Amino acid sequence: MRVHVGPEPAAELQDAVLAAGAELAPAAEATGLVWFGAGPERFAEYDHPGLEWVQLPAAGIEPWLAAGALREGITVTSAAGSYAETVAEHALGLMLAGARGLHQAARAERWDRPERARTLFGTTVGIVGAGGIGRALIGLLRPFGVRVLAINRSGRPVDGAERTWPAEDPDALGTLLERSDHVVVAAPATAATAALIDAAALARMKDDAWLINVARGSLVDTGALVEALDAGRIGGAALDVTDPEPLPDGHPLFGHPRALITPHSANPKPLLLPALARRVRDNVRRRLAGEPLIGVVDLEAGY
């Protein structure tokens, strides 16, 4: 298979094409096109009758639909979901940091043994809002032999979860919180999820459990969380997102012995291109093997 990377010939994406076993070719000779570095207004320059597949660089394809750039007869894939792994990796880092007290070790100026240490092996991980990030996290957690409890909108069983509840089940959240050693919040920010983790929810968590938020700050009641941390009612909290965001200078969560804050950096700009490169490599490999592509866009439906 011959693939072109353009308009911008990003080396990382070209490497991904080659690593998957395809060849690089000029646009006019390529059956596959990995689009990067420009908007849909330039697509016509690259289209030709032999073009069969276009990989777009973003998850949302509204500008392409609005511009009417794509035509029938081309398979189009978006980058939807490709950044979930990046966020899941950050979540795993936060979980391990909490379990091993890395936040406290980082602050130490002397050789102090940590008060306690925990492991992820064999523990129970509750994922509140198990979509793409949750699925990616379950994949990273597989070697740890954890038990996964999940809540999602539909209640459709999440692969790798022992139990999946629909969000509308009134007992779901409390049950998940009571059983989990790590509670990972990865749900979308909606009216229904605002302050989902409030004082009552925190009270149902185990007293040594950690709360991880990689979704949106609005899902956690910050005041209630600070109280729970101060009182030692939960093990700790590692938050990549906060309410308010940014947290004001000197906020009690900064430097809190039971907290680790990262500044909304779970999916940072420098990692967007590597994530896209992984998706390109996957999809080129799948196309060569005749397997279904990831992120195929339905032009009629618009996503």
Q: Which residues bind a second copy (CB under 8 A)?
A: 85-86, 89-90, 92-94, 96-97, 99-114, 116-122, 139-140, 142-145, 245-247, 249-250, 254-255, 260-263, 265, 268, 270-271, 274-275, 277-278
C-alpha angle 228-168-294 in degrees, rounded to nearest 5: 100
Which is closer to a second copy, CB of 186 or CB of 201?
186
Q: Is 153 labeled as catalytic in the residue annotation?
A: no
> Closest CB to a second copy among 70 and 236?
236
Please name which of 237, 259, 243, 230 lies closest in space to residue 194, comparing C-alpha atoms.
243
Nearer to a second copy (CB atom), residue 12 or residue 47? 12
Least separation in angstroms between residue 112's CB and a second copy is 6
Side chain identity at 211, as an amino acid letter?
Answer: L
Q: For the chain, how far is it from start to end, CA to CA, in angstroms? A: 26
Question: Would you say 69 or 214 has its CB closer to a second copy?
Answer: 214
Which amino acid, one-letter code, is at 225? L
**Phi and psi for 104 in degrees, rounded to 5?**
-75, -40
Q: Tokens standing for 180? A: 């989990």
Residue number, 30 or 277, with CB nearest to a second copy: 277
Contact of 150 with 163, CB cutoff 8 Å: yes
221's tokens = 């009641």
Residue corresponding to tokens 């070209």: 14
Nearest approach, Cβ of residue 31 and a second copy (Å): 25
Of 2, 204, 233, 264, which is the active-site residue?
264
Least distance in angstroms from the C-beta of 244 to a second copy:
10
Shortest reach from residue 28's CB to a second copy, in Å: 30
Contacts of 52 (CB under 8 A, 6+ apart): 31, 32, 74, 75
Set 118, 216, 258, 279: catalytic member: 216
Task: Say how far apart CA 27 and CA 220 lie, in whole Å.
Answer: 48
User: Min. distance of Cβ 143 from a second copy in angstroms?
Assistant: 5
Active-site residue 245, yes or no?
yes
C-beta of 68 vs 250, nearer to a second copy: 250
Q: How far is the CB of 237 from a second copy (least distance, A)?
A: 13
Which listed residue (52, 233, 245, 285) is catalytic?
A: 245
E strand residue ranges, 91-186? 124-128, 147-152, 163-166, 182-185
- Give the 3-state secondary structure of 73-99: CCEEECCCCCCHHHHHHHHHHHHHHHH
**Residue 27 is encoded by which pair of tokens?**
């646009």
Query: How is residue 286 written in tokens?
Result: 């799948």
Residues designated catalytic: 216, 245, 264
